[in-house]
Structure 1
Amino acid sequence: MWKYAWENYGGRISGVAAGLLFGIIYLFAGFWDMLFCALIVGIGFWAGKQKDEGKGPILPWERLTEWLTDRWPRSR
């Protein structure tokens, strides 16, 4: 059961876990910022869901690095 859950929902599980971790860290800085904690958990869930559904990365790193190297080529 755990293997099935991890294989099918691994991104969501790790996203929520990361969101909870960062949310708990933020909560120590201020109790009344619970809405921000929920936002962090929600963003973690959304990012994990994107990974599970195979929609690719949130930021197109290959395209971004290609654009940067074209714009500012290394001078050797």
Structure 2
Amino acid sequence: MWIRLWEQLWEAHRGKTLFTLLGAVLGLIYLICGLWHMLIFVLIVYTCYHIGKRVDRGERAVPVKEMWRWLMDKWRLFR
């Protein structure tokens, strides 16, 4: 039963599954190694899930150009 569930997740949502697991592993390392807070753990897992979701949709993992344009538009006010 569990094997079929993982196979379905892997086939239908490969990026979300992979990056969520990566986020959980990184989050557990974060929790084990010292003074870590649960909010940081959730942020790591959610960020990796979001990246995986973008990969599943066929988009770039991190949209650098769009982020750069957005930041430049925001900073234009200070010039």
Give the TM interval when normalised to the shorter protein. Answer: 0.5 to 0.7
Q: Is the contact made by 2:54 and 2:60 (CA closer than 8 Å) also made in structure 1?
A: yes
Rounded to whole Å, the distance in 2 between the matches of 1:57 and 1:45 is: 11
- Taking every aligned residue pair, what percent have the same amino acid on both sides? 31
Pairwise CA RMSD of aligned residues?
Answer: 1.9
- Match among 9, 12, 15 for residue 13 of structure 2: 9
Once the two structures are superposed, what CA deviation does each residue of 1:31-73 show, in whole Å capped at 9, x if it has no partner? Answer: 5x1100000000010000000000123156xxxxxxxxxxxxx
> How many residues are paired up?
60
TM-score (norm 1): 0.67
Q: Which residue of 1 aligns with 2:25?
A: 21
Larger Rg: 1
Gaps of 5+ in 1: 61-76
- Match among 44, 56, 59 for residue 55 of structure 1: 59
Structure 1: 4+ residue segments shifted above 2 A: 1-5
Gaps of 5+ in 2: 65-79
How far off is 1:30 after superposition?
A: 2.0
